[in-house]
Amino acid sequence: MRSTIFEKLLRLLAYVIGSCICLGAALASVGLLYNQENAFKAGLYLFLALAGMSGGFYFYFRALRVLSARRRVLSYPATHRPKP
């Protein structure tokens, strides 16, 4: 089933917004980590920063995949190809 251009645009927009939210959350947690003296909270903010960065990169690369999706050529499977 093919996706229309509108569906691809919505998917791309969702991935870009998700990437911005995750990277923004990571940036905010790094800002909170800067002056933290409690070791438990520092570890929690570090974990949140790493999780936000990984989520942001995941959504970023998903958006790139939507942009550079190659068209697949539909063909017969190898076992059902007609013989020339």
Question: Looking at residues 71-82, what average pLDDT do you find?
Answer: 61
Q: Is residue 47 part of a domain?
A: yes
How far apart CA 29 and CA 47 sit, in angstroms, is 9
Domain residues for the domain of 48 are 5-67
Cα pseudo-dihedral 49, 54, 60, 64, rounded to 10: 160
Q: Is residue 75 part of a domain?
A: no
The conformation of residue 72, written as its DSSP 8-state character, comes to P
Whether residue 1 is predicted with pLDDT greater than 60 in this model: the reply is no
Q: Is residue 42 part of a domain?
A: yes
Report pLDDT digits (tens) over 14-67: 999 999 999 999 999 999 999 889 999 999 999 999 999 999 999 999 999 988
Q: Is residue 62 part of a domain?
A: yes
Q: Report whether 62 contacts 15 (CB < 8 A).
A: yes
Q: How many structural domains are present in the chain?
A: 1
Check residue 67 and give its pLDDT: 86
How far apart CA 32 and CA 11 sit, in angstroms, is 32
Q: Is residue 15 part of a domain?
A: yes
User: Could you tell me the two tokens for 77?
Assistant: 């499977």
